[in-house]
Amino acid sequence: MEFQNLLDDIVGSIKPHLGEGNVANSIPELAAVEPNQFGISVATREGEVYSSGDSETPFSIQSISKVFALALVLACDGESIWKRVFREPSGNPFNSLVQLEHENGIPRNPFINAGALVVADRLLSVSAGETNGVLGLLRDESGNAVLQVDTGVAASESRHNHRNQALAHFLASCGNLDNPVDEVLDAYINQCAVSASCTDLALASRFLAANGARRDGAALLDPHQTKRINAMMVTCGTYDAAGEFAYRVGLPGKSGIGGGIIAVVPNNCAICVWSPRLGSSGNSIAGVAALDEFTSRTGLSIF
């Protein structure tokens, strides 16, 4: 089936899910979003884009940014980050403090908040003066030069980030941050507060479906590094529901509390879905349902 027809069908069939779940409120500004929106975009590795629904509406990318930050650190700095972050699913909430103390300040993986803070710290160190490398990468790969940080969301998170402050100070106490805590938190908050649409994010994620090749053909990552990021998205990308996501969708994916999810069909295409209402695991309910339908109907799954 043509992607365009399929995406239009999915927009129709997910409608019954649009009232399910609740928008995130841990960052108060995120709760202001109109909750019943849904968008989907697919970018093929050749660069064709198919979109339907609210695919051009910018939303807060939040934890989806963690994938791009990790890609940049691997691209600039190779494998040394793995001395400071593990690669196992956490089995705990994404902002848990308990596990970090048990494991002496080495976060379980780069997609929980503690791990993402360590990655943000390393990104600050290796990107000489650049404070939001994720925004630059997203602009370059999406071709959308006007992508911005939503400063209202960033300010809102800054006022309500006691838990991330606690994680960052604990990491610093263990010697696992090189930069001042406040600078790391600012960098992390600003990468999470980038606003982008489904189409922007599908295009920006295309390198994960193209063995690490950027929009202009240059290598961001080599094929092995790309495989490894995709593997980590399978095991750690969708909070504490990675098993259920693998069962239903069967693709590498990374979700954020803004309701977006990126997913990758290696060597084929990148997909982004967005709908703000989240289930109890923190993943977009309509977004997961849409990806489930996409892979079930196309057979495009890694399993």
Bridge partners for 71 per DSSP = none
User: How far apart (Å, rounded) are the C-alpha atoms in residues 154 and 151?
Assistant: 5
Nearest to 119 by CA among 182, 83, 70: 70
What is the footprint of ligand GLU within residues 212-251 (CB under 6 A)?
none
Nearer to ligand GLU, 52 or 164 (CB): 164
User: How far apart (Å, rounded) are the C-alpha atoms in residues 12 and 53?
Assistant: 9
Interaction of residue 164 with ligand GLU, rule CB under 6 A: yes
- The span from the first CA to the last CA of the chain, in angstroms, equals 20
Q: Among 141, 157, 186, 293, which residue interacts with ligand GLU (rule: CB under 6 A)?
A: 157
Interaction of residue 192 with ligand GLU, rule CB under 6 A: yes
92, amino acid identity: N
Nearest to 77 by CA among 119, 113, 105, 139: 119
Nearer to ligand GLU, 26 or 44 (CB): 26
Least distance in angstroms from the C-beta of 163 to ligand GLU: 7
Q: Among 94, 170, 207, 274, which residue interacts with ligand GLU (rule: CB under 6 A)?
A: 94
Q: Among 51, 63, 230, 295, which residue interacts with ligand GLU (rule: CB under 6 A)?
A: 63
Interaction of residue 89 with ligand GLU, rule CB under 6 A: no
Q: Give every strand in the sheet of 194-196, ordered side by side.
A: 59-60, 194-196, 148-149
Interaction of residue 211 with ligand GLU, rule CB under 6 A: no
Interaction of residue 257 with ligand GLU, rule CB under 6 A: yes
Bridge partners for 60 per DSSP = 195
Residues found near ligand GLU in the complex (CB under 6 A): 26, 62-63, 94-95, 113, 157, 164, 192, 256-257
